[in-house]
């Protein structure tokens, strides 16, 4: 019997414009039946960042759903090998990059736009994480918060080279300079990692509107204090960022692992069952 991943995962999303911006350039989406979460933080001239992040989220979500259905129907063809989930993500991100880049080249008001990206796919007791830029994914396990993506940013490069300390980085003027973004160049390198998932894990995806405004230790304390309610935890995180100045849009997605999900919970079967 196939189980829907919505039995295994709880997902809560929240986005907030913050206190200083007049519009929200973050975009977030999820599909718990697929075990899929995505967050993008756009950049560019007047409202162009909003265009880039929305395009990224819509394009990748649609492409992944379509790829799953196609893969499933192709499985019935003799000798056809289903694509790996990793390849599906890589292909969807490549397509999104091409679409955003094309619009930035052809629509003058969108020139130079781009977006960060974090995408997570839960499958077979594992989590595939793809990211570009400085939006982050964290894991809370046994009350300890760990950042599992590494920012593609000038600051992170400087820290790695030993030019500045993490403490100095917190007060740097270069906080928002990313070294990699989706849609700004004809091609982009997606960083893709796989992690084992454990029962009771909580995963946090966030834009830098949270991570720039609130220390990891405070994020950890808030998640631990409100572990009984992901909705409350998300609200508290957004409020903390606004209490500290709310200088940017703030987006969070929280995912809690309630049950293990072996291969018979395959996302292809879930999704097709959900379509019927």
- Token pair 């994480």 in the structure block, residue: 129
pLDDT given for residue 272 in this prediction: 57
pLDDT for 171 beyond 70: yes
| Rounded Cα distance, 59 and 114, in Å | 14
- Whether residue 67 is predicted with pLDDT greater than 50 in this model: the reply is yes
Token pair, residue 134, equals 């400085």
Confirm if 23 and 50 have CB atoms less than 8 A apart: yes
- Residue pLDDT, tens place only, 124-144: 899 999 999 999 999 999 999
Q: Which residues lie across from 203 on neighbouring strands?
A: 139, 255
Q: Which residues pair with 92 in a beta bridge?
A: none
Residue 117 pLDDT: 98
- Which of 66-70, 129-133, 159-163, 181-185 has the lowest average pLDDT? 66-70
How far apart are the C-alpha atoms of 227 and 84, rounded to whole Å? Answer: 33
| Fold of the domain spanning 5-266 | Phosphatase 2c; domain 1 (3.60.40)
Q: What is the pTM of this model?
A: 0.91
Whether the per-residue pLDDT at 72 is higher than 80: the answer is no
Q: Which residues of 152-176 are buried (b: 16+ CB within 10 A; e: fewer)?
A: bbbbbebbeeeebeeeebeeeeebb
* The pLDDT of residue 78 is above 90: no
Other Cβ atoms less than 10 A from the Cβ of 108: the count is: 8
The Cα-based distances of 266 to 12, 77, 125 in angstroms read 22, 19, 10
For residue 151, what are its two tokens?
């920012």
35/138 Cα distance (integer angstroms): 17
Query: If you average pLDDT over residues 108-119, what whole number do you get?
Result: 95
Confidence of residue 271 (pLDDT cuts 50, 70, 90): low
| Over residues 73-82, mean pLDDT | 57
pLDDT at 11 over 60: yes
Band of the pLDDT at 19, cuts 50, 70, 90?
very high
Q: pLDDT > 70: what percent of the chain? A: 89
């Amino acid at each position: 019997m196939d189980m829907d991943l919505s039995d295994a995962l709880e997902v809560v999303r929240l986005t907030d414009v913050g206190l200083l911006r007049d519009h929200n350039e973050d975009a977030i989406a999820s599909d718990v039946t697929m075990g899929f979460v995505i967050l993008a933080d756009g950049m560019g001239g007047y409202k162009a960042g909003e265009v880039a992040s929305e395009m990224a989220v819509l394009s990748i979500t649609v492409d992944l759903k379509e790829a799953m259905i196609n893969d499933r129907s192709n499985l019935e063809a003799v000798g056809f090998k289903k694509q790996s989930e990793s390849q599906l993500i890589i292909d969807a991100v490549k397509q999104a990059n091409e679409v955003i880049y094309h619009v930035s080249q052809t629509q003058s008001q969108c020139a130079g736009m781009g977006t960060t990206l974090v995408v997570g796919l839960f499958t077979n007791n594992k989590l595939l994480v793809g990211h570009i830029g400085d939006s982050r994914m964290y894991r809370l396990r046994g009350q300890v918060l760990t950042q599992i993506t590494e920012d593609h940013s000038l600051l992170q490069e400087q820290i790695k080279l030993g030019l500045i300390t993490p403490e100095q980085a917190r007060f740097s003027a270069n906080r928002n300079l990313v070294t990699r973004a989706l849609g700004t160049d004809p091609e982009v390198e997606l960083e893709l990692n796989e992690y084992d998932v454990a029962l009771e894990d909580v995963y946090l995806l966030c834009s830098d509107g949270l991570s720039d405004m609130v220390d990891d230790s405070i994020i950890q304390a808030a998640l631990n204090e409100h572990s009984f309610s992901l909705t409350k935890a998300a609200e508290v995180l957004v409020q903390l960022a606004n209490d500290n100045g709310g200088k940017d849009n703030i987006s969070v997605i929280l995912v809690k692992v309630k049950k293990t999900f072996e291969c018979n919970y395959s996302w292809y079967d879930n999704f097709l069952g959900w379509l019927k």
